[in-house]
Structure 1
Amino acid sequence: MIKNLIFDFGDVFINLDKEGAMENALQLFKLKKFPDALFETNYRYECGLISTDEFLMFYQEKFPWLSRTDIIEAWNYILKDFPIHRLEFLQGLASNKAYKLILLSNTNVLHIDWIKNNVYFYNEFKNCFDFFYLSQEIQMRKPNTNIYEFVLNNSSSHPKETLFIDDTPENTLTASRLGIHVWNIDPINEDVTTLFTTKNQLF
């Protein structure tokens, strides 16, 4: 029986444009593909291992023709709208108190700052959760096993009683190996608000 629901943030609640963001960045940076050094820096930033200033300085040194604003706008290009019906669904879950609600997101300070400034109900959203884990705050990142073990232990959740909803196959695969039930949601054709019909066999 499911007692705990772990939700990803991007492409579960807030819509993302991953392909568009990559195309925009490649054009802006005048690259054909992203070098490993950029992925490594992004990874370190999402794990809270470097500050926003260090992150932006790295990109300005690599691409000196770009301003700080250019880099921030390119970084936040991925973030789109947050449909209100998803908040309402979450608020219903929170008011019913039938499940422990947990957010687990790979994110960073710049993205959260953008969301705070552009999603007027961010605090209402955050307050729905019993536990709210952002990668840069806990210095761990999906799909590494340790982040799931941390969440389970810290929230006193048993894997067999837990369902994890995430749009990235690598993330749900690692969780499933720990015995957690998963829904690898398709953000194009599925919506988190159909949870109880899509995964009705678990409830």
Structure 2
Amino acid sequence: MIKTIIFDFGDVFINLDKAATLRELEKLEIRSFSEEDLKQNMEYEKGLLTSDEFLNAYIQSYPHLTIEGFKKSWNSILVDFPKSRLNFIRKLSEEKKYKLILLSNTNHIHIDWVKENVEFFEDFTNCFDEFYLSQEINMRKPEPSIYEYVLKKHDLKPEETLFIDDTKENTDAAAELGIKTWNIDPVKEDVTQLFEIKKELF
């Protein structure tokens, strides 16, 4: 029986356009991320770089960029947050049948955008027993340590825990620890359908 549900954020609650950032950066004459860029991106997600350090690294690598131009491209991945998903998690929170945890790979620039553009974000965060963002805990999925951290901190049994994420690499890593998973397909499925699609777990 599931007692705890761990949710991803992007493409579970907030809709993403994952190709948008590079598509927008191409307009600024950046065709792809270099190995150094990808390393910086991961370090930033883990909170190992401040936003200023992260932005300045890109400006140094691509001197024609402006900070505002880069931030606009960086945030273009973020689309919208359907109110139906807020209503779903709010109802789940009010019922108090499950411990609810959010576990997201994200970064300060993205979360700043969400705070400014999603009027009910604080209401959303209040629906969870814990709200873990990668840049605040210095770990990111699919590192086993991030799942072990959450399991240990909340004294969770993997077989009583469901993890929902749109990235198969992330759900595979959780499954290896015995956690039940739903690798949600954001094109065909919606988190609000949880108890229909995964009814065998409840």
- Pairwise TM-score range, normalised by the shorter structure: over 0.9
CA distance in 1, matches of 2:171, 2:11: 14
Q: Which moved more, 1:187-196 or 1:15-24?
A: 15-24
- Name the amino acid aligned to 1:25: L
Equivalent residue, structure 2, for 1:170: 169
Equivalent residue, structure 2, for 1:34: 33
Q: Number of paired residues?
A: 202
- Name the amino acid aligned to 1:119: V
Is the 1:29–1:63 Cα contact (8 Å) retained in structure 2? no
CA distance in 1, matches of 2:29, 2:75: 15
Equivalent residue, structure 2, for 1:113: 112
- Deviant stretches of 4+, over 6 Å: none
Secondary structure (helix, strand or coil) at the match of 1:164 reads: strand
CA distance in 2, matches of 1:13, 1:28: 29
Gaps of 5+ in 2: none
CA distance in 1, matches of 2:62, 2:155: 45
Deviations 1:152-189 (Å, cap 9, x if unpaired)?
11122110000000000100000000000000000011
- Answering whether residue 30 of structure 2 is matched by residue 23 of structure 1, we say no
CA distance in 1, matches of 2:4, 2:149: 15
Is the 1:131–1:155 Cα contact (8 Å) retained in structure 2? no
- Name the amino acid aligned to 2:122: N
Q: Which moved more, 1:95-104 or 1:33-42?
A: 33-42
Structure 1 position 104, deviation (Å): 0.1
Equivalent residue, structure 2, for 1:79: 78
- Name the amino acid aligned to 2:135: Q
Secondary structure (helix, strand or coil) at the match of 1:34 reads: coil
Q: What's the % identity of the aligned pairs?
A: 55
CA distance in 2, matches of 1:78, 1:21: 6
Structure 1 position 26, deviation (Å): 3.4
After TM superposition, the structure 1 = structure 2 runs for residues 44-83 of structure 1, keeping only pairs within 5 Å, are 44-83=43-82
Equivalent residue, structure 1, for 2:102: 103
Is the 2:21–2:73 Cα contact (8 Å) retained in structure 1? yes
Secondary structure (helix, strand or coil) at the match of 2:63 reads: coil
Equivalent residue, structure 1, for 2:13: 13
CA distance in 2, matches of 1:38, 1:30: 11
Is the 1:26–1:34 Cα contact (8 Å) retained in structure 2? no
Equivalent residue, structure 1, for 2:131: 132
- Name the amino acid aligned to 2:66: S
Gaps of 5+ in 1: none
- Name the amino acid aligned to 1:13: F
Equivalent residue, structure 1, for 2:93: 94
Structure 1 position 19, deviation (Å): 1.5
Computed over aligned residues only, the root mean square deviation of the Cα atoms, in angstroms, reads 0.8
- Name the amino acid aligned to 2:3: K
Secondary structure (helix, strand or coil) at the match of 1:28 reads: coil
CA distance in 1, matches of 2:54, 2:30: 19
